[in-house]
Amino acid sequence: MKRRDLLRSLGGVGAVTAMGRLLGPATAGGQSFPASSDRSATDNLASRLAGSIQKHKVPGASAAVFHAGQWEVAAAGVANVTTGVDVTPETVMHIGSITKVLMAQRLLRKSWYTLIEERIFKPLELQHSVVQPADALLHRATVGHFLNKDGTNTRTSFAFLNPSFAPAGATAMLAAKDLATFALAHVNDGVGTNGYRLFSAASARRMRRQTAVWRGIAGGGVGLGWMTFDKGIIGHDGGGPGIASWLFADPAAKAVVAVLTNAAHGVPVLDEMTAPLFEAAGIAGAAKPLGLGLDAAELAKQATDTRVDPHPYVGQYESVALVFRVIPHEEGIALRVRPKLLLYDGDTLEESPPVPLRPIRDGHFMTGQGFVTFLNPGADGRMQHLGSRRRLHKRSG
């Protein structure tokens, strides 16, 4: 993660919903689904995907949508700017933190890699899915990229994060349709497209049930593995060395979308590819970077230059990966960010320059490119948590 990205309070999050009929029986392998005469909200998916990656200088992307009882799958661009190999619908791509949805319920005494393969990939007949890094060599696979100042892309210097992070999203690579097929098992209450029951209906519903509410900018909350959004939408985003990915589903409409890119700057592509589905669902502003019902540009207009009392906010807030330091500033308060780990190309352990925080309301502040929220004042009036990117960072000083 580049230092400038650390100052963004929330990456692109969104959701997808659409009107569709109940998921019907499929042939073995989930390769054939009932056709629909309805006009799809994703017409011209392939051309839109190709145009979007060209517009945003993203090397490659793939997308899979199940909507109104039918599939649409598309791929565009190259898997690796060094080799020039094309992205195809079968290409496996990093899914990042979406992996967390694959591994939520209980601890078993088997290798995590073995469990994912035996309990998810094989039963659902996912032919283009890997969790062992070495297995990626058996497929056409992408690698991450970063955008240079001159508009060109540079391939990341390493394809995977440390394998010890695998359950959190370091190694899993899937074709977009395989990932969407996995999500369909969730929205169909545990039954895969090939008729295999992956887990009970009660478990599927429990995973979708919101257990905690996010109180910062963006709204929504979390269930078990899934992020939860308005109108019953569930999903998860993913990041990694030079990649951005999304998976979202509407259980009520039996609709799913998976969009994978091999670029750290791929979020606008994710936004644009899901926008028609948001509009079909009547969810205003859902394709905006802040997610369901929120418009970043409109929210930014509410930011003021009003001076605030620094006392409740000044101090240090930490997570396992980041340190946020709020300091007095001539304009009130400012934010400095320092990573604890060197995870991506271009990372530095140096603290970022101070960025003034402009108050909005209710503890929300605008940074240079995003937003943060201060929460939970203590007896002394000092805020105990700083919310950023759907994560709470606890005061440590």
The answer to whether residue 33 scores a pLDDT higher than 70 is no
Quote the DSSP letter at residue 16.
-
185-224: pLDDT as tens digits: 999 999 999 999 999 999 999 999 999 888 877 668 899 9
Q: Give per-residue pLDDT as tens, 319-365.
A: 999 999 999 998 799 999 999 988 888 788 999 999 999 999 889 99
Indicate whether 311 and 290 sit together in one domain. Answer: no
Let me know whether 40 and 186 are in one domain.
Answer: yes
Looking at the structure, tell me whether residues 68 and 206 fall in a common domain. Answer: yes
Are residue 81 and residue 195 in the same domain, yes or no? yes
The pLDDT of residue 11 is 33
Q: Flag whether pLDDT at 28 surpasses 60.
A: no
> What is the enclosing helix (H) or strand (E) of 339?
strand 332-339
What's the pLDDT at 369?
Answer: 74
Q: Given 295, 314, 347, which residue is the final one in a domain? A: 295
Report pLDDT for 214. 83
Question: Does residue 367 sit in the same domain as residue 281?
Answer: no
Range from 36-40, 101-105, 202-206 that averages highest in pLDDT? 202-206
| 270/317 same-domain check | no
Kindly report the CATH number assigned to the domain that includes residue 384: 2.40.128.50
Say what the pLDDT of residue 281 is.
Answer: 59
The pLDDT confidence band at residue 297, using thresholds 50, 70 and 90, is confident
Has residue 31 got a pLDDT over 50? Answer: no
Asked if residue 378 and residue 288 are part of one domain, the reply reads no
Percentage of the chain beyond pLDDT 70 is 83
Q: How many domains does the chain have?
A: 2
Q: What is the CATH number of the domain that holds 102?
A: 3.40.710.10
pLDDT digits (tens, 9 = 90+) for 136-193: 999 999 999 999 999 999 999 989 998 899 999 999 999 999 999 999 999 999 999 9
Tokens 């670029």, residue?
A: 263
Q: What is the 3-state secondary structure (H, E, C) of 188-226?
A: CCCECCCCCECCCHHHHHHHHCCCEECCCCCCCEECCCC
Domain boundary among 295, 320, 344: 295
Residues 136, 60 share a domain: yes
Q: 383-388 and 391-395 as β-strands: parallel, antiparallel, unpaired?
A: antiparallel
Q: Say yes or no: 90 and 173 in one domain.
A: yes
172 and 244 part of one domain? yes
Q: Are residues 220 and 369 in the same domain?
A: no
Residue-range definition of the domain harbouring residue 331: 302-395
Asked whether the beta carbons of 395 and 375 are under 8 A apart, the reply is no
Please check whether residue 131 is in contact with residue 113, taking contact to mean a CB–CB distance below 8 angstroms. yes
Q: Are residues 203 and 336 in the same domain?
A: no
User: Is the pLDDT reported for residue 288 higher than 60?
Assistant: no
User: Considering 295, 328, 345, which residue would you say is the last residue of a domain?
Assistant: 295
